[in-house]
Structure 1
């Protein structure tokens, strides 16, 4: 299947949205906020630094004019909320956003080029460079807004030509590529002299990302200089310059003090001299088993990272190989050495700071010692540097910690504190008060007025990046979710953002564990028992009531290679018996006692190991039919789907006639038909954003394509729990719904921006769809009316849904305090219309007298209007006169509310009418 461009997909999605039957069905955000999400850039008003914009990687652009006390989203109407950079002209209020995150992580989404807003975010126009995918910097000449220079990283997973430096002199109407290094090398940073904007420096970055391996360095990485405002460029980091110039040069960040003095922070992937540092991990794994087990997980994880295993193994994995004398540490050393010899020989140099005092002609390394515990082996995620505009010796660099130097980069001190999240991506330094800094990191925004001595946390908005969500079935049920770099949390489904918890002392959501939060399963018999974990298969059984955390990840038998676990390892509690737990590595594992012991119930269900520095050839999704215990499906990251009809005794490959070698994002057994199963594939790791969704009616023997009309990569498919014709699909650019088993699709994202929907689940008792988004936290949608849209209802011209009964209250229309608001009831009344037009509404009492009438402008699809149980004064007066048993009094808010009794709601259009009754009942006596 051919690759589809992002722009075409967005045009299709726009048309789908306009034709949707669900434009009044609104998704409600239910948080959380306190954990925030990854910040990629800041734009601060230098004349009023309480006013600034924050660009989130996948959460859009947000604006504050009260120093981060609150934020307003300003990009939600745009084609995407995936950001790479932001630039603002504070005189005119014009905003430019370079879309597509440039950090090259596993969840860095592509953009749609350069977006511009001339009305502070109300509307946006696309200025082009759509195939650049990831834009790192935009510079706009403050003296001439038509002169724009853009730095583009290019595609993340594939090579392409639309990368490098582009310049426009007509405000973005046309572009000229002024610097092109190579199809695998883009521009990761751009710095422009404020005193002389003709002088610019650009950092090129050669990289090769695959699902199984990431190579973030190359000899084409370097620094270029322009002396004519970006029209022409010259490489200034030659081998004679003093700056590294070889295949170990990784990502580079730039900061200009003036046109002559420039700093560069480098992810140097060249090896350290062996005599300089013995490999920490080798030393640790040379110790006896008992001593090895005493090494802290933190120290061991640091050593694993420094040896290149951050994306393959964690301390808990390693220690469990050693536990119970299963393996000696030296045996672990042999396994790891064999798997990654090149990285294991010695440490890389890592973070370095270089300085030039002659406009880039020559460079000197600034740091005196190795800057350890800064980048580890993932400097590709960082490389940002800032300098005080009035003191060239005051320098900030961001990595896992935030570091500060006041001697020009010779030495550094950590300034990130306990309420500041790790992984720092941008630091703004106030030119008028250098102790005032604003920092953006993986956990949001922090502000300091004493140069990092103390920090304000500005996480007030729902921009968390969820990988997975789930629900329990308590009366007021909880939602659970795992987030990128922010752990696993749970909270009430009726959460509404406010800051009352500051006064009460307890945030409504609570953390279950840290790390990169992953999937969660909740014991339906005891919601205190939760199974969850973090990246690469580190899972726990948590008993919240007893305070127990039991590590349950299965480990390979002695003599076998360690199991391969996906970044987001799938787990599943059997619906047939909540003692039975499934978990996937390259094998499917089953526990009959909630993870205490495990058995392998399959062979390798993938194409096998694919060596690299990221675990690959792993299971990504598991499903079990509710109709039959042991009817199991498993999908892998390398494109395989297998089925077992006998509890794992035998397996059959069922993906042979599907598109090959794509990531299986979901396999889901039907809840309505035993033979039915759904599968979705995802190709964005090939920079292919086409939709792949399929259904089989014969256990996967044959498949039907149900992708037509979908746009963008598919992450999850959910079959409705009541109406088998209804499907929900979460994509990298929103949520979609089908009313006809996937034959056609409609937009179902009203109330939420075009954000990636990673996971979704139905709370069947509440009839609510819960969605975990990767950038805007969790949403829920009331699908009770949607589920009633059967073929019979859809064939009607007009259909009125059930109107709920209500208990009358004497407090309607009253208020507690003079400054309070009156207590006013309301009910949302829903109806379906098969066409646009005016609908007449009448509400009558038991005598048939109309007590309320109104006209509603209806759109084709689901519609609603709000009734507040009041009637006009003349209707109340007439009713009082005709019925001596009724005494309708005017409430404090000057309204007349319906008395206790039965009522009929009638809607009509074009000689067609529908009616439903409801009752106002007396309050129960205490």
Structure 2
């Protein structure tokens, strides 16, 4: 047995940056939303005695609690060491919460966890109860008669083999664990359900799956269904060849629902091939397949009108007319088959695979035999990515009422013979969990990629419950407006634009306009804003589908380069990088496996490189692609490119020649970011990322000679893959980094790092940018939407770091007659507050003293200052002694006592001092 003591096992995130000793621990992040589009829900746990009370687990956004039917939520996992969730379980009698960390949907951004967490105080504190190498925990079952008896299903590592997967059981509340089911190092348990009347009877869905950066195999011989009749102590495989359930290499993800001791449902992602249907053809119409074996003579005799129609219908570039293509074939420049090949891209295997797809099976003899519930295919549910879904639910009191989901949410009232969609207008398309109220007809709670929805009429109408700010941002950017706007692309929730001064509020429901506005759907990606008016921007969705958008007129034009006839298809990364030139905003860059430049805002492109990758690998995910691009602000034509297969290449002459500059660096890593310095044209920063090989080390390097040599600057960063590095726009020594657990700053170009975490849970930071005028650091998190932090004081560090104490900028104060008073009889007393930023190079005690411009001391307060940045507050009131001093010198002036019993400073100029430091401020 594995003994686990009650402490956090910081397996993946052992931090060498000490937050407690950080000089920047008093700088605070502020959430600026948005919440309306939400993020991916992975689990719901509802109080069976009070369905208005429930917990929601988000894939990378933590655990949230509501006791008012989703009207509002509060986070209960923010002080834990991760926000990544696979499953949750709640002992409603004792109030104990269990969280299996690490999302199990096996997506590109399904982050690993740190084991199983437990809270006995409703989330105030968390204990790590073990299984640290599980990475992804799919299900937690508690024995309702003895909740110290726990059975846990583990799917295991996403990218590499490991032994800590299968089923684990504890009889002592998680202090020790027994590994009761292990199949092999590539097969884990994706779902596990118990007989609602008998904890001893448990079914487990085994799933063999392997994700690589270039391929995803979501099926295998070892996928199947296991059954235990002794509470998970031992297991028997029941999905045998004789059982009627699918077996063999095509069996993918399995979901289970147990109605009784005999009746069990299973949904399976069947990756077996279906017969491809004959493509329908209009009379005389040309189809792609026609050109696969066509010879030159037949091609030359094709009707030009029909050939032109084929070229237009299939979005060939306008330069390819029937007449031109025939000349190309006649001259031997291309063969007719190239017209077919042109339409085959690197994503074809991902989306165009004719698989059987979702199938539902039912057993009426406790899993001994299975029968498919339906005769025809269940189309338009999984498409070809069933690995992302895979759940089935049965009504607790109605054997034949079941629900399955993928892109739509489907309900069946006849045991799976027929289904109908119960999606609503405000329900996101991708579904991941469902709770069925056994006592109220039609009451469902649904968790999806867009948050939480509730229905009371079995899906005819839905309520949207998206108060938590849990958006999964891939990228963020800002414009130069005052106040500036923030732009960002999110996982499966499109691209949005909103004000940087946004504060969460439901007032938009009254006005009818949410402050953030949608710009595009799909999986939202990078955004580039043309600063010449800010009405033109470039953005798009996955695999390089970008558009130039006029936000005033709504017009959009696709700006995706295309290969020429006869050339191999271009490969575009899921998060294809784009860039507007620093030197000319008509120049637009985009990376596929080649580097493309447009001199006219994307109307036309030229490839200014050959393939800059190692050439790709066979698989169903585009690989051998460009992941990050940068242009030197100091020299036009100096460009840096990083790829998913670990290469960094540089050109100094606008793409005429390229040099590979990663020979001295670790290989086989994903280049997550390249930065061409704005301070020195020979300086390059790169971040390498091992996440896609379950390698969590920080890889961060700088070169001062265009990549001839490299220096590691990861120093004291924690073990967490790095997603982004950026320079501060005012001080070349200040750098910012975002990794899978937070944000960091260095004041000495990477020699040492400080953690920026106040106000921010440990969540993945995918992107960050500094707005130079506002002096705000804006971060896009993959699970908690967008945060900002004003860094004006932080930017002064290198100028003041040796000062024993320094009062930083004081803002003037505008007085109000409501200081110390209520705005109305029903309101709260208005308490004014002045923020006093102070830097100290060591822990210091000193008095804060306030005097009038004539030297009358009006207030004195002893204060403690931490080493680093401090933000103290002063309430602008007289001290008792200060009031006497003031009135003694100003006998003709009266100071009114306010409703809260305080006396406030009148208008005038004042001097604030701490130690030997002084600063002036005014009350106006």
Common fold, TM-score beyond 0.5? yes
Cα distance in 2 for partners of 1:285, 1:35 equals: 38
Hey, what does 1:309 align to over in structure 2? none
Q: Deviations over 1:591-632 (max 9, x none)?
A: 111111111111211111222111111111111111111111
- The Cα of 1:887 is off from its aligned counterpart by 4.6
Hey, what does 1:783 align to over in structure 2? 791
**Preserved contact between residue 339 and residue 611 of structure 1 (Cα < 8 Å):** no
- The Cα of 1:7 is off from its aligned counterpart by 2.7
**Preserved contact between residue 346 and residue 621 of structure 2 (Cα < 8 Å):** no
**Preserved contact between residue 311 and residue 321 of structure 2 (Cα < 8 Å):** no
**Preserved contact between residue 93 and residue 118 of structure 1 (Cα < 8 Å):** yes
Hey, what does 1:924 align to over in structure 2? none
Hey, what does 1:12 align to over in structure 2? 15
Distance 1:457 1:745, change over 3 A: same
1:135 paired with 2:137, answer yes
Distance 1:344 1:101, change over 3 A: closer
**Preserved contact between residue 198 and residue 229 of structure 1 (Cα < 8 Å):** yes
**Preserved contact between residue 344 and residue 569 of structure 2 (Cα < 8 Å):** no
Hey, what does 2:733 align to over in structure 1? 725
**Preserved contact between residue 384 and residue 426 of structure 1 (Cα < 8 Å):** yes
1:554 paired with 2:556, answer no
Hey, what does 2:218 align to over in structure 1? 216
Hey, what does 2:917 align to over in structure 1? 914
- The Cα of 1:705 is off from its aligned counterpart by 0.2
| Larger CA deviation: 572-581 vs 88-97 | 572-581
Secondary structure at the aligned position of 2:921 is classed as strand
**Preserved contact between residue 11 and residue 132 of structure 2 (Cα < 8 Å):** no
Count of residue pairs the alignment pairs up:
887
Cα distance in 2 for partners of 1:747, 1:191 equals: 41
Q: Deviations over 1:261-312 (max 9, x none)?
A: 00000000001135xx3368999746966766897xxxxxxxxxxxxxxxxx
Secondary structure at the aligned position of 1:787 is classed as helix
Hey, what does 1:312 align to over in structure 2? none
Q: Of 88, 91, 94, which residue of structure 1 is paired with 2:96?
A: 94
Cα distance in 2 for partners of 1:425, 1:323 equals: 45
Q: Deviations over 1:458-507 (max 9, x none)?
A: 01110000000000000111000000000000100010001000001100
Secondary structure at the aligned position of 2:748 is classed as coil
Hey, what does 2:315 align to over in structure 1? 319
Hey, what does 1:426 align to over in structure 2? 433
Distance 1:613 1:45, change over 3 A: same
Secondary structure at the aligned position of 1:380 is classed as helix
Cα distance in 2 for partners of 1:166, 1:667 equals: 42
- The Cα of 1:815 is off from its aligned counterpart by 4.6
Distance 1:590 1:449, change over 3 A: same
Distance 1:402 1:332, change over 3 A: farther
Distance 1:489 1:378, change over 3 A: same
Secondary structure at the aligned position of 2:629 is classed as strand
Distance 1:698 1:6, change over 3 A: farther
Cα distance in 2 for partners of 1:215, 1:371 equals: 21
**Preserved contact between residue 407 and residue 431 of structure 2 (Cα < 8 Å):** yes
Hey, what does 2:5 align to over in structure 1? none
- The Cα of 1:804 is off from its aligned counterpart by 1.9
Secondary structure at the aligned position of 1:75 is classed as coil
Distance 1:340 1:41, change over 3 A: closer
| Larger CA deviation: 875-884 vs 50-59 | 875-884
**Preserved contact between residue 35 and residue 468 of structure 2 (Cα < 8 Å):** yes
Cα distance in 1 for partners of 2:823, 2:220 equals: 69
| Larger CA deviation: 627-636 vs 477-486 | 627-636
1:716 paired with 2:724, answer yes
| Larger CA deviation: 385-394 vs 142-151 | 142-151
1:416 paired with 2:434, answer no
Hey, what does 2:410 align to over in structure 1? 403
- The Cα of 1:109 is off from its aligned counterpart by 0.3
Cα distance in 2 for partners of 1:682, 1:824 equals: 48
Distance 1:653 1:121, change over 3 A: same
Hey, what does 2:57 align to over in structure 1? 55
Hey, what does 2:329 align to over in structure 1? none
Hey, what does 2:864 align to over in structure 1? 857
**Preserved contact between residue 272 and residue 346 of structure 1 (Cα < 8 Å):** no
Hey, what does 1:34 align to over in structure 2? 36
Q: How does 1:443-462 map to 2 (within 5 A)?
A: 443-462=450-469
Calculate the TM-score normalised by the size of structure 1. 0.92
Cα distance in 2 for partners of 1:527, 1:88 equals: 49
1:836 paired with 2:832, answer no
Q: Of 380, 391, 398, which residue of structure 2 is paired with 1:391?
A: 398
Distance 1:31 1:673, change over 3 A: same
**Preserved contact between residue 26 and residue 869 of structure 2 (Cα < 8 Å):** yes
Q: How does 1:314-393 map to 2 (within 5 A)?
A: 319=315, 325=321, 331=338, 333-335=340-342, 347-393=354-400
Q: Any unmatched runs of 5+ in structure 2?
A: 1-7, 291-305, 327-335
Secondary structure at the aligned position of 1:199 is classed as strand
Distance 1:821 1:480, change over 3 A: same
- The Cα of 1:875 is off from its aligned counterpart by 3.1
| Larger CA deviation: 746-755 vs 278-287 | 278-287
- The Cα of 1:837 is off from its aligned counterpart by 4.0
Hey, what does 2:84 align to over in structure 1? 82
Secondary structure at the aligned position of 1:871 is classed as coil
Hey, what does 1:301 align to over in structure 2? none
- The Cα of 1:882 is off from its aligned counterpart by 1.8
Secondary structure at the aligned position of 1:98 is classed as strand
Distance 1:280 1:430, change over 3 A: farther
| Larger CA deviation: 60-69 vs 602-611 | 602-611
- The Cα of 1:93 is off from its aligned counterpart by 0.6
Q: How does 1:896-915 map to 2 (within 5 A)?
A: 896-908=903-915, 913-915=916-918
Secondary structure at the aligned position of 2:15 is classed as helix
Cα distance in 2 for partners of 1:872, 1:19 equals: 33
Q: Of 652, 675, 685, which residue of structure 1 is paired with 2:682?
A: 675
Hey, what does 1:525 align to over in structure 2? 532
Cα distance in 2 for partners of 1:397, 1:8 equals: 35
- The Cα of 1:759 is off from its aligned counterpart by 0.0
- The Cα of 1:668 is off from its aligned counterpart by 0.6
Distance 1:707 1:846, change over 3 A: same
Cα distance in 2 for partners of 1:29, 1:330 equals: 54
- The Cα of 1:818 is off from its aligned counterpart by 2.2
**Preserved contact between residue 481 and residue 488 of structure 1 (Cα < 8 Å):** yes
Cα distance in 2 for partners of 1:721, 1:578 equals: 19
Secondary structure at the aligned position of 1:771 is classed as strand
Hey, what does 2:259 align to over in structure 1? 257
Distance 1:839 1:520, change over 3 A: same
Hey, what does 1:772 align to over in structure 2? 780
Q: Any unmatched runs of 5+ in structure 1?
A: 296-317, 922-926
- The Cα of 1:347 is off from its aligned counterpart by 1.6
Secondary structure at the aligned position of 1:503 is classed as helix
**Preserved contact between residue 70 and residue 465 of structure 2 (Cα < 8 Å):** yes
**Preserved contact between residue 860 and residue 879 of structure 2 (Cα < 8 Å):** no
Q: How does 1:98-247 map to 2 (within 5 A)?
A: 98-247=100-249
Q: Of 729, 750, 756, which residue of structure 2 is paired with 1:742?
A: 750
Distance 1:342 1:705, change over 3 A: closer
Distance 1:245 1:773, change over 3 A: same
Hey, what does 1:299 align to over in structure 2? none
Hey, what does 2:71 align to over in structure 1? 69
| Larger CA deviation: 358-367 vs 892-901 | 892-901
1:578 paired with 2:585, answer yes
- The Cα of 1:890 is off from its aligned counterpart by 3.8
**Preserved contact between residue 856 and residue 885 of structure 2 (Cα < 8 Å):** no
Distance 1:325 1:228, change over 3 A: farther
- The Cα of 1:344 is off from its aligned counterpart by 9.6
Cα distance in 2 for partners of 1:241, 1:555 equals: 50
**Preserved contact between residue 16 and residue 745 of structure 1 (Cα < 8 Å):** no
Distance 1:637 1:294, change over 3 A: same
